[in-house]
């Protein structure tokens, strides 16, 4: 079981994806995220969402709504089950889609975009190419990745800070100002 670490759903237990390949964002990393970000009434995208634990942590800390993007049927079912456990079905939407396709086709814009793609498969750089398409002008993008991965940062993004948690790095980006 996964446990919400902070906010109004603190200590609520959530389901895990029944697939041993699923990697979860550790509780200490989720706590750091909610302490860094202003989530109050924000629109959030949780890309490569897995069980949805990060998005649900964000909802627990004041996010207005969260859209989850996940390609795995097992993960999609887990996110739906977890939304029912928390009673937040009306504050979420689940897209069963490849994240790379979602970024190219979505008309939605989000104030906070969090992505945690599978480590060391090159997916993170593929996502960065189109991630600026879905973030608002003043939005924040957070990319969770392995410290072994070298990111190719597109010209449209500005790296604000990197937070390190052992093998896990969180890179915070915003759109570059366009004159």
What pLDDT is attached to residue 122? Answer: 78
- Cβ 127 vs Cβ 103: under 8 Å: yes
Judge residue 166's burial from the number of C-beta atoms within 10 Å of its C-beta, 0-12 exposed, 13-18 middle, 19 or more buried. Answer: exposed
| DSSP state, residue 134 | S
**pLDDT tens digits, residue range 109-131?**
999 999 999 887 878 998 999 99
Local confidence pLDDT in tens for the 179 residues of the chain: 899 999 999 999 999 999 888 889 999 999 999 999 999 999 999 999 999 999 999 999 999 999 999 999 999 999 999 999 999 999 999 999 999 999 999 999 999 999 999 887 878 998 999 999 999 999 999 999 999 998 999 999 999 999 999 999 999 999 987 54
Query: Where do the structural domains in the chain lie, given as residue ranges?
Result: 2-175
For the chain, the residue count is 179
Helices (H), the chain: 27-36, 53-60, 73-86, 99-105, 123-130
Cα 98 from Cα 89, distance rounded (Å): 22
The CATH number of 2-175 is which of 3.30.2130.10, 3.30.920.30, 3.40.50.150, 3.40.50.720?
3.40.50.150
Question: Rounded to two decimals, what is the model's pTM?
Answer: 0.95
CA distance 60 to 56: 6
- In percent, the amount of the chain with pLDDT more than 90 equals 89
pLDDT at 179: 45
Burial 52-64 (b: 16+ CB within 10 A, else e): bbbbbbbbbbebe
Q: Which tokens in the block code for residue 43?
A: 């629109």
Whole-number average pLDDT of the chain: 94
């Amino acid at each position: 079981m996964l446990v919400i670490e902070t906010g109004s759903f603190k200590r609520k237990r959530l389901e895990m994806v029944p697939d041993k390949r699923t990697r979860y964002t550790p509780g200490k990393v989720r706590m750091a995220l909610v302490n860094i970000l202003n989530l109050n009434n924000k629109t959030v995208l949780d890309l490569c969402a897995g069980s949805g634990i990060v998005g649900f942590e964000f909802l627990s800390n004041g996010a207005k709504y969260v859209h989850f993007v996940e390609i795995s049927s097992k993960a999609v079912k887990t996110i739906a089950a977890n939304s029912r456990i928390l009673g937040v079905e009306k504050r979420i939407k689940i897209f069963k889609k490849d994240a790379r396709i979602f970024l190219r086709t979505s008309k939605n814009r989000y104030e906070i975009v969090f992505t945690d793609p599978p480590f060391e498969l090159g997916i993170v750089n593929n996502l960065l190419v189109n991630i600026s398409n879905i973030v608002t002008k003043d939005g924040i993008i957070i990319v969770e990745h392995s410290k072994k991965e070298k990111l190719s940062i597109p010209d449209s993004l500005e790296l604000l800070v990197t937070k390190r948690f052992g093998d896990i790095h969180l890179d915070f980006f915003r759109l570059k100002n366009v004159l």
